[in-house]
Amino acid sequence: MDDGQFFENSGADMEVVARFEQMINENGYSFFDVEEIEQISEFYVDHDNYKMAEKAVDLGLNMFPHSPALLLQKSELLVQRNAREDALEILVNAASNNPCNGELLFATGNLLSRLQFHEKAIEYYNKALIYNTSDQVEILLDLGYAYQKLKDYEKALPCLKQVLEHNHENDSILFEIGLCYNEIERVDEAIKYFESYINVYPYSYVAWFNLGNCFIRKEQFKDARAAFDYSIISNEFFPAAYYGKANAHINLEEYKEAIEVFSATFQLEQPHAYVYCNIGECYEKLEDFDKALAFYEKSIELDKNQSDAWVGIGVVKDLNDQPAEGVKFIRKAIEQDPENPEYWYIYAELLDKTGDLVEANEAYKRVIELDPVNIEAWLDYSDMIFEKYSAKDAAQVLKEGIQMNNQDAELQYRLVAYFMKIGDNESAKKNLKVALSKNFAAHEKLFDFYPEAKDISEIVDIIALFKH
């Protein structure tokens, strides 16, 4: 071995390493203290010679079997060769023998976390916070991540906030704080937090981005649009802010502006299938169906599993008076996402238009099975049954819907309208009283669907009785 070449650029004490190698080569014995063993092991780790590093640590542990530093090194070397359970056993034993050694407690917590034992890891992290004063920020960070792994975002938040106080430029922590607030749905508190942070650090593009997301959740889309603008001003190369701003434009029905913002992202990164899909939807809203189809097709070219794009094509086909063609594309989307009630709803509507009533009936059943609180689906399903089959069957559909949505009056008012259409006035009056007791103001829904009810004195009189 060329010692000069091997030891080049090493920070180790070369005399110590050379003495160790001589001992190994001559099969002799030499004494090394703990610090020297650490130094030798670190040297070999730096040179990716883990076998020699472990040999040095094993020698040290023969001399100093309870050395926390050497036990730590031994566990790290075992992890390196994927013997994690053995490493954990060493650390747990070492930590129990050294209950006030913060470094051991921290290392044990880390390994437990890597092995997905997050609850146990948290115990060790909390102990490490007491005894390890030099790694407080790192411990808090790992503790916060462990809570996140357990989906305990309430406890993760204060840990992550403390980390951010020590390093306000840590954008990844700001993202995680935004995620935690999103999960616990404390939007108002999140807005106050990010606004306060921005008051101190006004050019934090992540804080502006998180604030924009909060405003989206509050449906304050103009405020969201402004926040995303500031995020982009602070970092013009941050694509997520552009997507957020485009989303705000869409919610404000500013589809041309949304298309411009989406298009701007093409200068920042390769176009995504979902971006093309969103642009297609914007053109669909603008009734530029040719461009809508073109972008939906571009989306599918990038990702054949972009189910929203398949749906988009189906909807545009229907808008172009080609519902039968549209059915084929909606079916393609359902093949990819069979649990999506929105897809089934569109599918049912198009099947109804094409006259395929048997399939439409099955599709509506699937919608209400997946999304039983979708009142519009219940109404459309019952209307189809009423028009194409019988009032009795339609009434039965509505009764099932009412049973699953007992507090919703609109289904009850529609049932009243059906009974009136078939001349069953007694059932109509009975159900009208039930509907009025649930929601008096919603009785206008009855007149919207069946305007003739305004001219029926018995109906008008019953409504007057319930008016306060």
For the segment 173-227, what is each residue's pLDDT rounded down to a tens digit? 999 999 999 999 999 999 999 999 999 999 999 999 999 999 999 999 999 999 9
**% of the chain at pLDDT higher than 70:** 96
Label residue 455 by pLDDT band (50, 70, 90). confident
**Dist CA 207 CA 456 (whole Å):** 60
- Number of helices (H), then strands (E), belonging to the chain: the values are 28, 0
For the segment 264-298, what is each residue's pLDDT rounded down to a tens digit? 999 999 999 999 999 999 999 999 999 999 999 99
- pTM equals 0.80
**Dist CA 457 CA 413 (whole Å):** 17
* Of 10 and 85, the one with more pLDDT: 85
| Distance between first and last Cα of the chain | 100
Domain boundaries, the chain: 417-468
Smallest Cα–Cα separation from 70: which of 82, 60, 81? 60
pLDDT at 237: 96
DSSP 8-state class, residue 10? -
For the segment 370-400, what is each residue's pLDDT rounded down to a tens digit? 999 999 999 999 999 999 998 889 999 999 9
Instruction: Specify the DSSP element, H or E, that contains 29.
Output: none
Please list the alpha-helical segments (H only) found in 132-234: 136-149, 153-166, 171-184, 187-200, 205-217, 221-234
Count CB-CB contacts under 10 A for residue 448: 12
Label residue 468 by pLDDT band (50, 70, 90). low
**Residue 6 pLDDT greater than 70, yes or no:** no
Of 38-52, 58-72, 348-362, minimum mean pLDDT range: 58-72
Instruction: Specify the DSSP element, H or E, that contains 265.
Output: none
pLDDT at 9: 39
